[in-house]
Amino acid sequence: MLKIKQAVKRFWRSEEGLGTLEIILIISVVIIIALLFKDWIIELIEDLMGKADGEADKIFD
């Protein structure tokens, strides 16, 4: 019984694979946020690209 208890403690303290789990959780949160604010993000990017195009036209004219 003591060996099983020690094995469980070692397993619980082991941090192998923890980085992969954290990365997967972060990526999933970013994807969920992107899906929730998809329309707002697209509108923002289109607005920024329009401004950049307008500034480029000013410079080259």
Q: Above 80 in pLDDT, residue 19?
A: no
Tell me, what DSSP letter sits at residue 16?
A: T
Query: CA-CA distance, 17 to 1, in Å (whole number)?
Result: 27
Task: For residue 54, give Cα distances in angstroms to 16, 19, 40, 61.
Answer: 51, 44, 21, 11
Averaged pLDDT, 15-27 = 78
Question: Residue 20: helix, strand or coil by DSSP?
Answer: helix
Q: Considering its fold, how many domains does the chain have in total? A: 1
Give domain status of residue 43, yes or no.
yes
Averaged pLDDT, 27-34 = 94
* Per-residue pLDDT at 16: 65
* Per-residue pLDDT at 48: 92
Which domain covers residue 44, as residue numbers? Answer: 36-61
CB 34 within 8 Å of CB 41: yes
Averaged pLDDT, 7-33 = 81
Give domain status of residue 51, yes or no.
yes
Give domain status of residue 18, yes or no.
no
